[in-house]
Amino acid sequence: MIKFLYIFIALFLFGCQGMPSKKPPIHLNPNMDDVERYDAQEKQFFYKNDDRTKRNPIEGTIPYGFYKDDNPEFYLGKNSEGEYLNKVSEILDVDKDFIKRGQERFNIYCSVCHGYSGVGNGLVAQNDEYNVIVTSILSETLDDKSDGYFYDIISNGKNNMKGYSGQINEEDRWAIVTYIRALRYMKDNDNE
């Protein structure tokens, strides 16, 4: 019996010798610590004919939250025939807070180029180095444009202006549209 005790103590002491070792530690219970997996860009052997590990989604797959076909007016600013939505108020409740939200977002995202009043005199437009000619949001060329058109411009951009669908969510884009309406309204009414 006592022999076992010595062996046990010896093992115990060796086990805790605290000496650095280059060998990996003994892993008595591996659990699922070293499960085989593919790294990105690695070759895989499961699917024949196509070795890529990064698979294309199955046709028709829609990521959670990305189904937009049920409400094209809201998501795209157009109906399923491709006609622009006339007024934001047809699909969303527009109140003072909504326009204020649009003002805040406009000042953050648009004023750098279009200026706080929308006339196109933001800092970027003032700086010759950038060489972009920024359209005035109050311009007469936009008089006949619908709300859906403005939404489309914010989402997808035009020429030198890039789209903001990556930074601004749908509801905020509509809020900005209402603020553009407010700016244009103020122009038509002598900035009162």
Q: How far is the CB of 31 from ligand HEC (least distance, A)?
A: 51
109 binding ligand HEC? (CB under 6 A): yes
The one segment of 12-20, 26-34, 96-104, 131-139 that binds ligand HEC by CB under 6 A: 131-139
| Among 157, 30, 191, 182, residue whose Cα is nearest residue 102 | 182
How many Å apart are CA 184 and CA 191, to the nearest integer? Answer: 9
Question: Binder to ligand HEC among 88, 99, 138, 154 (CB under 6 A)?
Answer: 154
The answer for residues whose C-beta is within 8 angstroms of residue 77's C-beta and 6 or more apart is 84, 85, 147, 148, 149, 150, 151, 152, 155
Q: How far is the CB of 76 from ligand HEC (least distance, A)?
A: 16
The one segment of 8-16, 33-41, 79-87, 157-165 that binds ligand HEC by CB under 6 A: 157-165
127 binding ligand HEC? (CB under 6 A): no
CA distances from 3 to 6, 7, 10, 56 (A): 5, 6, 11, 64
CA distances from 69 to 74, 76, 79, 162 (A): 10, 9, 10, 24
164 binding ligand HEC? (CB under 6 A): yes
Q: Which is nearer to ligand HEC, 68 or 158 (CB)?
A: 158
Q: How far is the CB of 82 from ligand HEC (least distance, A)?
A: 17
Q: Give the footprint of ligand HEC on this chain (CB under 6 A).
A: 109-110, 112-114, 124, 132, 134-135, 137, 150, 153-154, 158-161, 164, 176, 180
